[in-house]
Amino acid sequence: MNRKKGMKASVLLVLSFIGISALFAAFGTRARAQNWVALPPYNTLWPLWSPVLSPVSTATGLPTPLVTSLTPDTVLPRQPGLTWSPFRRNPWLLYNTPLGMAFYDPTVGVSLWPPRILVNQITGLPITLSLPTGYADLSPTQTSWVVNNVPAANWSYLAAYPSYSTVASTLSQPTITSLLTPTALL
């Protein structure tokens, strides 16, 4: 009788261990599988899947965005940055300019951040996106979109701000630390 109780306890212990291990594996994989993180004040999504834009933190072992918010005054250490709203078809590519951060959209070219659709046109305040459940697990930007649009965006940016010539005398000139190639961005 004692032996049966011991066997049941052993089986229960093994099953509990397997269950706990499965939970840790599931939640650990989920944390590493996130593709996006929302950045204030607009809740647009920053790519955790891009090692150059979200390098792995030595402290946490997780991808960490190079910037913590996307405001007109944000200075990007790498260009272009990338942010996306899941309610849009394509992301915005982000750049530094002497007037503040700018974005590239294939339909409108280079404009100062934020896009009009992210600003309340009456108050001028940010419209914070209400993100859908599971937004962090949405698929990364398609490789074909990045490969087809990053070179055009870089050229548009350089054409719009060739050497900051018209404003260089009145504003401090941001440095171009990089213009990433599509391969580097991916």
What pTM did the predictor assign? Answer: 0.78
- pLDDT reading at 148 higher than 70: yes
Per-residue pLDDT tens for 97-111?
999 999 999 988 999
| Largest Cα span, the chain | 91
d(CA 53, CA 183): 12
CA distance 137 to 31: 10
Q: What pLDDT digit, counting tens, does each position of 28-79 carry?
A: 444 447 999 999 999 999 999 999 999 999 999 999 999 999 999 999 999 9
Nearest to 92, CA basis, from 68, 66, 118? 118
Contacts of 8 (CB under 8 A, 6+ apart): none
